[in-house]
Amino acid sequence: LTLQSDSADRAVRLAALDQRTQGCTSCRLSQSRTQIVFGAGNPETDLVFVGEGPGRDEDLKGEPFVGRAGQLLDKIIAAMGRRRSDVYICNVVKCRPPENRTPLPDESAACNPFLAEQLAILAPRAIVALGKCAAQVLLATDEPISRMRGRFFAYRDVPVMPTYHPAYLLRNPAAKRPVWEDMQKVMQLLSGSSSNG
Ligand code: URA
């Protein structure tokens, strides 16, 4: 198998998974969504950001992180010397929770097979868990985000860096500094030599 066919395979497999999410009625969020927000970005990326769930703007557009928090995430990605188009962005739940509330445990559990397969296909070298919900779901823990951020954990052998959610940064600009420190650790990890290209 060549590297090229391997990466083409990722795009095809992600598109197939996206297709399989369409029409999902596994949880109550399916009743209030406008559309499923599967995820977006480069299927061959080394870096994946996982948020909580689509908000109003995302639900209308069908793309993750396109509202105010998304604009701040774009700045974080740019500060890392990357572009949105060369990373991949998705959420714990693919449908908008009413009033942007945090997904309930049964909702994140219902969506988890999609997230798990998405991350297995992407097989990134690092995952950034944006906020408490993503960190707690990926790492199956109740630890507060303030205690987890800044250190790498593992999700199926992939290093996970929990950090504060961009929406939290909008309300607490002082938390931008620790997030930048966290992202520098991710950049350092990714600058190391890769074992699988
Ligand atoms: N917040 C999230 O967690 N995800 C989005 O896609 C948008 C806002």
Tell me the best of 73, 74, 91, 102 to mutate to test the pocket of ligand 1, counting ligand atoms within 8 Å of each CB and taking the most.
91
How crowded is residue 35: how many other Cβ atoms within 10 Å of its Cβ? 16
Handedness of CA 72, 78, 80, 83 (dihedral sign): positive
pTM (2 d.p.): 0.95
Q: Supply the pLDDT for residue 99.
A: 95
Distance 90 CA to ligand 1 centre (A): 8
Give yes or no for a contact between 14 and 54, defined as CB atoms under 8 angstroms apart: no
Handedness of CA 118, 119, 121, 127 (dihedral sign): positive
Q: Supply the pLDDT for residue 153.
A: 98
Q: Supply the pLDDT for residue 193.
A: 74
Give yes or no for a contact between 36 and 114, defined as CB atoms under 8 angstroms apart: no
Ligand 1 atom closest to residue 64's alpha carbon, by position in its atom list: 6
pLDDT digits (tens), the chain, 197 positions: 555 556 679 999 999 999 999 999 999 999 999 999 999 999 999 999 999 999 999 999 999 999 999 999 999 999 999 999 999 999 999 999 999 999 999 999 999 999 999 999 999 999 999 999 999 999 999 999 999 999 999 999 999 999 999 999 999 999 999 999 999 999 999 999 765 44
Q: Supply the pLDDT for residue 8.
A: 72
Q: Supply the pLDDT for residue 196.
A: 47
Give yes or no for a contact between 96 and 102, defined as CB atoms under 8 angstroms apart: no
Q: Supply the pLDDT for residue 135.
A: 98
Q: Supply the pLDDT for residue 197.
A: 43
